[in-house]
Each structure stands twice: as structure tokens, then as C-alpha cells.
Amino acid sequence: MLTEHDFASQKRRADVVARRLADRHTPLIRNAWYVAAKGDEITRRLMARTLLGVSVLLYRTEAGEPVALHNRCCHRSFPLSEGKLEGDTVVCRYHGLRYDAMGSCIAIPSQSQSPGKIGVRRYITMERGPLVWIWMGDPALSESTPLPHPEWLGHPDWDIEIGYVNVKGSYVHLHENLLDLSHLSFLHETTFGTPEYAAAPIETKIEGDDIQVWRHVPCVLPPLYAKPLGWEGMRAIRHSGSQFVSPGLHVNSGVFENLDLPKEQQSPPPMVKVAQIITPECQDRVHYYYAFCRNFVRGNPEVGAFMIKGFTAAFNEDVYALEKISDMHAQEDASQFYEIDIAADRAGLQMRRHLKTLADRETAEVSGVAPHFGKVPGAE
């Protein structure tokens, strides 16, 4: 049994480590690409969505281009999403101010003179495959920051299924969850974990921001994979990878090797890739899309439906875990909490140090919630 002296000295040490780690209180990273929505969610109907704590208006122009504007009339803060889309312009429902798709206010019905150069922020968007990405940080940095969209996501060689869930919890902890898959045997015991998973050796590859974890787990695959592959009861190796790509994206990979079938029948090997799309709604909620892609049993909607159903059940277990942890942090003694890291956390800690560095850099550069400075390149 630990003594109070043990707790006190552990807390001191943990607090020193934690100072360099992002956690639920770290300001959100604004200079990064995030997925605003699936492309098919953005239509000719005005849609409001909170992203990075900011209410954003999403719609498509008549030409089909996605538009993202600050969803707040510059006059009296009425949400533009409650108004009307007329052509490519938006009319505020309160006093009728009209905005073009660049966010400029182009008409004020109660006055004849021109509104002058007023308007709302327009956020840069990029549509790739089934996703629309958004840049809400310093516009000057958007061009030099590559879009993290993976080439296989939406590529015709891969079948794709996309799910969504709104998570009560911090995006930092969702990333951390995805980098330590030793939880599969416990949290996902009945969905896609197998008992061998917890103890399989962890191979951590860290090269700067490229943070990956791989495991090679000899096992009988869980039904989620075994059934579609027809490998039920067969011995296999599950090569399983987690890669932190950017604050808004994480990629999980699975490569499956059957030990009971000849190698020739497994070329190319069956693979799944899951884009774990992590967009902070605000400090403690996440828009969580998971785009699950596979290169096997393709063109089979029943298999697609079976697998996305299985993934959804499993990811809802993660959502449940993050929510329980979030509740724990609402306890009166939360300010006294400290956490002890284990060996499996190595990649997660590296990722949290990286996010903390990014957040500190943004805080140093600007003050205020919406540090948008400089010009939008190519616009105006």
C-alpha cells in the first residue's frame, strides 16, 4: 500500500512532466487543417457547425463550391445560418444584411448607401474525395501547410465507409487513445480486441512529428475481420499500426497475414486503413469521423455494412471511455489529479509534447481566441 509520502512525491514528478504535455486545458491548435464536414453534408441548405469553438456557416455555391463563413452577422451577432441562401449570397434573417460567398456584406436594406468594407471571416476550404477540409488559423500559413488528406482516402482502389459520432471529451485524449492500442483487449474486449493484443510487443517509430506505433499480433482475428475474409478459426498475424498525422487526423492500419493459407493466395495482403478524423468542436467536444477503407471483398455492400457497424460499435466504446474520463475531471478534487505514464504511452506522450509545442507557439505569436492575422493569399 502506498503512503501519502509516495503520492505526494509522485504528484510532484508527474506535475513536472505534465507541464510539457497537451491536455484537456491546452488551447486548441488553430494553424492546422481540419475536416469541416463530409462533402455530402454541405449542400444548398445553410448549415451551422461549431469548429474550434467558432460557429461556422457551411453551404455550397450554385457552382458547387463549398463556402465556410463565420456564422455571425457582423451587425448584431445573429446566426447567419438562420437566414436565407439566395444565389450565392446569404441574407441575415434579422435585418436583412446580405453577404457574398467571400463574406463581404454587399447590401443593407435599410440604407441606400453602400455598406462599406464590412463583413465576416471567410475560412479557406479544400474539398478532397468525400471530405471538405477547413483552415481556421492564420491565412498566411495555409499555403505552406500541406493538406493531410491521404491519397487512399476516396481512391477508387479502396472501398470506403464513413461513420460519425460527437464526442464529449478532449481531442487530445482521443488522439492518445488511438496511439495506445493496448486498450483493445479491455475496452474493446467484445468488439475488435483480442486477448493477445494487450501484451504484444510495441514498436514505436518517432521521427519528428511522424509518430507511429506498430504491433504484430499472432491471433485468431476477431469476427469483424475474420468473417468478411473467410478466416474464421484460422491462425493469423495482425499487423496493426497507429499513426498521428496532424492535430486533425490519425491513421490506423491493419495488414492481415494468414498462417494457415499459402502466401500466394494473399497478394496483395488484405488491408484496412481507417482515417480517424478528429475535429475539435470546442475545448471539450470533438466531431469524430471515421473513414474506414478496405482493399478486400470490394463492391460488396453487405460486407461494408457489416464492417462499419462493427467499427461504430467499437468506436462508441472509445466515446464512452472519453466521456467517463470527462466526468471524472468534473469532480471537485480534479485539480489534484495527476496521471502516471506507462511504457505503452511512449508514442502518446510524444504526440502530446508535439501538440503542446504547437499550442505554445501559437499563444506566443498572438493573443486572443481567434488569432487570424495577415492576408489571405490570392484572395481580395
**Which residues from 250-309 bind a copy of itself, rule CB under 8 A?**
282-283
Q: Minimum CB separation from a copy of itself for residue 190, in Å?
A: 11
User: Which CB, 93 or 235, lies closer to a copy of itself?
Assistant: 93
CA 228 to chain centre: 27
Name which position in 5, 16, 19, 262 contacts a copy of itself (CB under 8 A). Answer: 5
Name which position in 327, 357, 361, 365 contacts a copy of itself (CB under 8 A). Answer: 327
Name which position in 15, 143, 339, 365 contacts a copy of itself (CB under 8 A). Answer: 339
Asked if 160 contacts 78 with a C-beta cutoff of 8 angstroms, the reply is no
Q: Minimum CB separation from a copy of itself for residue 179, in Å?
A: 12
Question: 3-state secondary structure string, the chain?
Answer: CCCHHHHHHHHHHHHHHHCCCCCCCCCCCCCCEEEEEEHHHCCCCCEEEEECCEEEEEEECCCCCEEEEECCCCCCCCCHHHCEEECCEEECCCCCCEECCCCEEEECCCCCCCCCCCECCEEEEEEECCEEEEECCCHHHHCCCCCCCCCCCCCCCCEEEEEEEEEECCHHHHHHHHHCHHHCCCCCCCCCCCHHHHHCCCEEEEECCEEEEEEEEEECCCHHHHHHHCCCCCCEEEEEEEEEEECCEEEEEEEEEECCCCHHHHCCCCEEEEEEEEEEEECCEEEEEEEEEECCCCCCHHHHHHHHHHHHHHHHHHHHHHHHHHHHCCCCCHHHCCCCCCHHHHHHHHHHHHHHHHHHHHHHHCCCCCCCCCCCCCCC
Q: Rule CB under 8 A: is residue 144 a binding residue for a copy of itself?
A: no
Q: Rule CB under 8 A: is residue 8 a binding residue for a copy of itself?
A: yes
Instruction: Please tell me the number of Cα atoms within 13 Å of 346 on its side-chain side.
Output: 11
Q: Minimum CB separation from a copy of itself for residue 236, in Å?
A: 21
User: Which CB, 39 or 193, lies closer to a copy of itself?
Assistant: 193
Name which position in 88, 257, 341, 360 contacts a copy of itself (CB under 8 A). Answer: 341
Site for a copy of itself, residues 67 to 126, rule: CB under 8 A: 72, 74-79, 82, 91-97, 102-104, 108-113, 115, 117-119, 121-122
User: Which CB, 159 or 317, lies closer to a copy of itself?
Assistant: 317
Site for a copy of itself, residues 148 to 177, rule: CB under 8 A: 173, 176
Name which position in 156, 268, 299, 368 contacts a copy of itself (CB under 8 A). Answer: 368
Name which position in 146, 268, 335, 364 contacts a copy of itself (CB under 8 A). Answer: 335
Site for a copy of itself, residues 213 to 232, rule: CB under 8 A: none
- CA–CA separation, 132 vs 281, rounded Å? 15
Q: Rule CB under 8 A: is residue 333 a binding residue for a copy of itself?
A: yes
Name which position in 190, 331, 357, 363 contacts a copy of itself (CB under 8 A). Answer: 331
Q: Rule CB under 8 A: is residue 240 a binding residue for a copy of itself?
A: no
53 burial level (CB within 10 Å; 0-12, 13-18, 19+): middle
The number of beta carbons lying within 10 Å of the beta carbon of residue 151 is 10
Q: Rule CB under 8 A: is residue 10 a binding residue for a copy of itself?
A: yes
Q: Rule CB under 8 A: is residue 187 a binding residue for a copy of itself?
A: yes
# chain residues binding a copy of itself, by CB under 8 A: 86
Site for a copy of itself, residues 17 to 56, rule: CB under 8 A: 50, 53-55
Q: Rule CB under 8 A: is residue 336 a binding residue for a copy of itself?
A: yes
Q: Minimum CB separation from a copy of itself for residue 73, in Å?
A: 9
Q: Rule CB under 8 A: is residue 325 a binding residue for a copy of itself?
A: yes
User: Which CB, 151 or 331, lies closer to a copy of itself?
Assistant: 331
Name which position in 158, 180, 211, 236 contacts a copy of itself (CB under 8 A). Answer: 180
- CA–CA separation, 169 vs 285, rounded Å? 5
Q: Rule CB under 8 A: is residue 370 a binding residue for a copy of itself?
A: yes
